[in-house]
Amino acid sequence: MKKYFTTKHIVYLSLAVLFCLPLSNATAQKQAETAKMNAFVSGLMKKMTVDEKIGQLNLVTGGMAITGSVTNNGIADGVKKGAIGGIFGLYGTDNVRKMQEAAVNGTRLHIPLIFGLDVIHGHRTIFPIPLGMSTTWDLGLIEQSAHIAAKEATAEGLNWVFSPMVDIARDARWGRISEGSGEDPWYGGQVAAAMVKGYQGTSLKNADAVMACVKHFALYGAAEAGREYNTVDMSKIAMYNYYLPPYKAALDAGAGSFMSSFNVVDGVPATTNKWLLTDLLRKQWGFNGFVVSDYTALNEVTNHGLGDLQTVSALALKAGLDMDMVGEGFLSTLKKSLQQGKVTMADIDLACRRVLEAKYKLGLFQNPYKSINAQKEKTDVFTDANRKAARITAEHSFVLLKNANQILPLKKSGGSIAVVGPLADNKRDMLGTWVIAGEWEKSVSVLEGIKHVVNDDVKVTYAKGANITDDTTFMKRLNFGPGMVSLDPKSPQDMLEEAVKTAKKADIIVAVVGESQSMSGESSSRSDISIPESQQLMLKALAKLGKPIVIVLFNGRPLTLTWENDNAAAILDVWAPGTEAGNAVAEVLFGNYNPSGKLTTTFPRSVGQIPLYYNHLNTGRPYSSGPTKFKSNYLDISNNPLYPFGYGLSYSKFSYSNINVSKTHLKGDEILTATVTVTNNGPYAGEEVVQLYISDPAASISRPVKELKDFKKINLQIGEKQEVTFKITPQQLKFYNSQLKYDWEPGSFIIQIGTNSADTKTAKVQWAK
């Protein structure tokens, strides 16, 4: 008989089986779980009426109207009727339990609700605003912050968060730039993935896991002129290369849900955009979770000009929208559309299945009360450990924009400091935008923080010096919640004089100024992105004293700071740092932590330069050393930003060696290593974010002048040196070409490593296919 297998074959075969086993086991287990879920959901759906199915697609708000008008009334009745699939804006174990009981005990099929909330940068313990989180360049801290938020949110009965917000933004006029990770697609993707992992943990079934909701899909950050809710118009190449990567990265990290955006994408509102919600998201990218609309975004499609509520609801369902937030378009029209043949039962079933699957994945059918734990609500929320994590994260998020003559860090003993400005003795504005459950009364002001840190022999004095703004019309718009911004009973002139008098007696002035909480975030576009005039007047009066001014800057966006950069001794950008704001600011001002944050957005010199971003394309007539006729520039201002992407100083000084590349000629899948030696030449130990950029100067399409490809955050003692090596593969050279094919093209590449996008060492390599 012919021998088919030798002993050698058998050994190889057994080894192969052995190695494949764990993999196939895991895949088989996953498949079995999916099959189990499908069988469960199919079984349930067989029992459901059309109305009950449509009810699952309806998301209502349970508490206050957060960002718009509330059209839902009588929530408990709606729940009992089976007309509601989920509630958001409601938290606290008592509140959530009541509603969950109404759903589970009060409905025919006992289907649990999903409970969502805008948990954006912490739940009770508030972390820095997302833009500030991104400037830490510390993915571990970012993931941890999301995990802590998840623990606190689940302790209060929640299982779904409307985060991460991953919209790339290149326009600082847009107030929601504060909610994202800035302008870089690759780094935005890294942050998005870290947040998803932090929220969802190892399994959505865990009691402390919440389902992430990636928003706003898609391109919301490219609203024309930075005007909120405005039109977006973009080429496919720009979408694929610069705006879509963070959404995809969040999906690849396992995000369970997506939120459609308010804007149009290629002319069609995102909420009714089949190309976006089905062809791209599900077919190209393989997303298998559910899509919720943004707040009344479905109803707003009527204003976009696509028809009445019934028409747009049918369009949205067919496009791939599964849940309607607040607008009740699905609830009030889908049955009629079914009867009229405008949607099919299969369309409704598909959306209903996806919502039920999310509840299944969260383990809510097994235990609808899984995260409702009155004990945990008392012990796991706003703990000392969580506050410490928030403080450390805040310290890492601060960006030192200027530090002339090493004025910072300040001395902890001796001398006198005048702390001035409307944000100095202020708790409310420490938290920033989107802090639904955050209690501002519990946050630490900068003045308090400074007093905690300095020794008794430092004289700390205080004067408010100015209102946030003196413009009462502007103030009215800022006050969408009660008492957010108000005028001081003292006149602006009296306040200013008091500040000058206080500052005169001090050695150093710490001016705590910038934007208040409601000046950035949703619906907070500004055409003038400078520090409000009232505060500028105060700074100018103080500057006349000739004493060093240290600006502690609060902001939810890049601001125009040319006067401040010329006149202040130091500027520490602290964004909106959260609950532990004052403590974190003081730790950094007095050198207990050496700042290491780096910008993730470009700071323009003037609002007229916007959009301004580092990874722009070259033009045929590039700007070189100064404005001139017949070049791509302005006649009245340089093209360069005030502070470039990736910029941020340290109390120490880091120097970079030239780049050492492993090869200058590479082929195919070879790996290039590029190494620099970074030395801490300054007087403090500190951290540095070493950044890798690559340029592709000749390709089939015009490519950005440089693109961030990797970074490493290192820690160096005084005098210490470290070799930092990046391994570069052709994968990192890929881009979408005119045919939207994702590939790399052979040729020369310029490798750049440095301390920010405008200050790098370079090396050139040739890479053949």
Task: Restricting to residues 367-396, name those near ligand BGC by CB under 6 A.
Answer: none
Of 294 and 564, the one with the shorter C-beta distance to ligand BGC is 294
Question: Is 300 one of the binding residues for ligand BGC (CB under 6 A)?
Answer: no
**H helix or E strand, kind and range, residue 181:** none
Of 59 and 672, the one with the shorter C-beta distance to ligand BGC is 59
Q: How far apart are the first and last CA of the chain?
A: 49
Residue 324 bears catalytic tag: no
Q: Determine the Cα–Cα distance for residues 278 and 351; give it in Å rounded to an integer.
A: 12
Of 65 and 225, the one with the shorter C-beta distance to ligand BGC is 65
Question: Which of 171, 294, 564, 710 forms a contact with ligand BGC (CB under 6 A)?
Answer: 294
Residue 409 phi, psi (nearest 5):
-75, 155
Contacts 24+ apart (CB under 8 A), 662-668: 663/765, 664/763, 664/764, 664/765, 664/766, 665/765, 665/766, 665/768, 666/765, 666/766, 666/767, 666/768, 667/767, 667/768, 667/769, 668/730, 668/768, 668/769
Q: Determine the Cα–Cα distance for residues 441 and 428; give it in Å rounded to an integer.
A: 7
Q: What residues are paired with 228 via a beta bridge?
A: none
- Residues present in the chain in total: 769
**Could you tell me the smallest distance in angstroms from the CB atom of residue 611 to ligand BGC?**
21
Of 382 and 434, the one with the shorter C-beta distance to ligand BGC is 434
Of 66 and 268, the one with the shorter C-beta distance to ligand BGC is 66
* Residue 672: both structure tokens together: 């290039």
Reference 297, options 347, 251, 241, 229; nearest CA is: 229
**Could you tell me the smallest distance in angstroms from the CB atom of residue 736 to ligand BGC?**
27
Secondary structure (DSSP) of 687-708: EEEEEEEEE--S-SS--BS-EE
Q: Report residue 202 CA to chain centroid gap.
A: 21
**Could you tell me the smallest distance in angstroms from the CB atom of residue 165 to ligand BGC?**
7
**Could you tell me the smallest distance in angstroms from the CB atom of residue 707 to ligand BGC?**
28
Q: Report residue 630 CA to chain centroid gap.
A: 39
Of 63 and 92, the one with the shorter C-beta distance to ligand BGC is 63
**Could you tell me the smallest distance in angstroms from the CB atom of residue 437 to ligand BGC?**
13
**Could you tell me the smallest distance in angstroms from the CB atom of residue 554 to ligand BGC?**
22
**Could you tell me the smallest distance in angstroms from the CB atom of residue 468 to ligand BGC?**
24
**Could you tell me the smallest distance in angstroms from the CB atom of residue 221 to ligand BGC?**
12
Q: Looking at 167, 171, 208, 294, which residue is catalytic? A: 294
Of 215 and 464, the one with the shorter C-beta distance to ligand BGC is 215
> Could you check whether the bond before residue 314 is cis, i.e. omega within 30 degrees of 0?
no
Q: What residues are paired with 736 via a beta bridge?
A: 742
Of 184 and 522, the one with the shorter C-beta distance to ligand BGC is 522
Of 235 and 523, the one with the shorter C-beta distance to ligand BGC is 523
Secondary structure (DSSP) of 614-672: TTPBP-SS---SS--TTSSS-SSS-SS-SB-TT--B-SS-EEE---EES-SEEETT--E
Question: Is 162 one of the binding residues for ligand BGC (CB under 6 A)?
Answer: yes
Q: Report residue 564 CA to chain centroid gap.
A: 27
Of 67 and 416, the one with the shorter C-beta distance to ligand BGC is 67
Question: Which of 45, 50, 66, 750 forms a contact with ligand BGC (CB under 6 A)?
Answer: 66
Which residues, at least 6 apart from 731, have a Cβ–Cβ distance to it below 8 Å? 744
Q: Determine the Cα–Cα distance for residues 536 and 485; give it in Å rounded to an integer.
A: 17
Show the binding pattern over residues 8-47: x = contacts ligand BGC (CB under 6 A), - = does not: ----------------------------------------
Number of residues that bind ligand BGC (CB under 6 A): 8
Residue 754 CA: distances (Å) to CA of 398, 422, 608, 662, 718: 19, 37, 28, 18, 19
Task: Restricting to residues 468-527, name those near ligand BGC by CB under 6 A.
Answer: 522
Q: What residues are paired with 59 via a beta bridge?
A: 86, 325
CA angle at 325 for the pair 321 and 328, rounded to the nearest 5°:
95
Q: Determine the Cα–Cα distance for residues 51 and 339; give it in Å rounded to an integer.
A: 12
Question: Is 215 one of the binding residues for ligand BGC (CB under 6 A)?
Answer: yes
Tell me which amino acid residue 69 is.
Answer: S
**Could you tell me the smallest distance in angstroms from the CB atom of residue 179 to ligand BGC?**
7
Of 66 and 541, the one with the shorter C-beta distance to ligand BGC is 66
Question: Is 67 one of the binding residues for ligand BGC (CB under 6 A)?
Answer: yes
Tell me which amino acid residue 252 is.
Answer: D
Q: Which residue's entry shows tokens 């000629």?
A: 665
Task: Restricting to residues 79-118, name those near ligand BGC by CB under 6 A.
Answer: 118
Q: Determine the Cα–Cα distance for residues 321 and 344; give it in Å rounded to an integer.
A: 14
Cβ pair 262, 176 in contact under 8 A: no
Q: Determine the Cα–Cα distance for residues 368 and 399; give it in Å rounded to an integer.
A: 44
Task: Restricting to residues 116-155, name those near ligand BGC by CB under 6 A.
Answer: 118
Question: Is 295 one of the binding residues for ligand BGC (CB under 6 A)?
Answer: yes
Of 197 and 215, the one with the shorter C-beta distance to ligand BGC is 215
Which residues, at least 6 apart from 578, have a Cβ–Cβ distance to it below 8 Å? 121, 122, 125, 126, 127, 128, 129, 390, 393, 394, 430, 431, 432, 438, 443
DSSP for residue 283? I
Residue 764 phi, psi (nearest 5):
-110, 135
Q: Determine the Cα–Cα distance for residues 78 and 112; give it in Å rounded to an integer.
A: 13
Q: What residues are paired with 666 via a beta bridge?
A: 767
Annotated catalytic residues are 294
Note the residues at the interface with ligand BGC (CB under 6 A).
66-67, 118, 162, 215, 294-295, 522
